[in-house]
Structure 1
């Protein structure tokens, strides 16, 4: 598992949702499947699925917002009804691994970030991009915003 620091811009068209953090593991994939049924409505889309999450600030922070969508090639002036265009731009700590190990990957990346002396940016969204693999299960790339 490799970790890195990157500065990256994500152009995204997606749908905003909210729910209990404890339910994100079930809700986000469900919301993503619903969103993907409308993917053909989006101009200049790529094939890369993306989710953006409000960070959980503490144990008392029980509900949060998230977006599911697709990366698009550039800024859009018009998006389909019920969808939003957003630009997420930040410095990120990043790692990539199997989707089945996403929780472990998040924990190891967060630890690496602290060990390297970075501070999490709790005012920016956590990003995951999803990558189907030909001979293996889907992979996820995580981007933790840092200061």
Structure 2
């Protein structure tokens, strides 16, 4: 698994959802499917699906928000009704792996980041991008925001 620190800019058009963190595993894909039915409304998109997650700050933080959408190639002037344009730029630690192993990829990234001395930014969104590969499989890139 390739683990590294990167500075990244994400330009995203998507829809916002919210709910209990424990339900994100089912709610996020459901909202993503709904969003994809409207993908043709988004101009200049890259076809790379993305999700932004509010980080869980502690055990008492039970509900949060998230966005599902698509990366766009440049800033968007007109955003479709019910969607938002978000642009974020900051340092991250990142890893890529098979989506069926997403929990392991996430945990390995957390361990590696701590070992490297990086301090997590618990105010900024966690970012995941989704990439189809052969045999109907999918890989995920996870970006955990860190303090500069």
> TM-score when scaled to structure 1?
0.98
- CA deviation digits over 1:62-94, x for unaligned, max 9? 000000000000111111000000101110000
Match of 1:84 in 2: 84
Which 4+ residue blocks in structure 1 deviate beyond 3 angstroms?
none
Please tell me whether residue 143 in structure 1 is matched to residue 143 in structure 2: yes
In structure 2, C-alpha distance between the alignment counterparts of 1:14 and 1:131, rounded to whole Å: 17
- Backbone CA RMSD of aligned residues: 0.7
Q: Give the corresponding residue for 2:75.
A: 75
* Alignment gaps of 5+ in structure 1: none
Post-superposition shift, 1:135? Answer: 3.0
Deviation at 1:136, TM superposition (A): 5.4
Mark the runs of 5 or more structure 2 residues left unpaired by the alignment.
none
**How many residues end up aligned between the 2 structures?**
147
Tell me the equivalent position of 1:132: 132
Question: Which residue of structure 2 lines up, in the alignment, with residue 113 of structure 1?
Answer: 113
Question: What is the distance in 2 between the residues matched to 1:73 and 1:110?
Answer: 29
Using structure 2 for the length normalisation, give the TM-score: 0.97
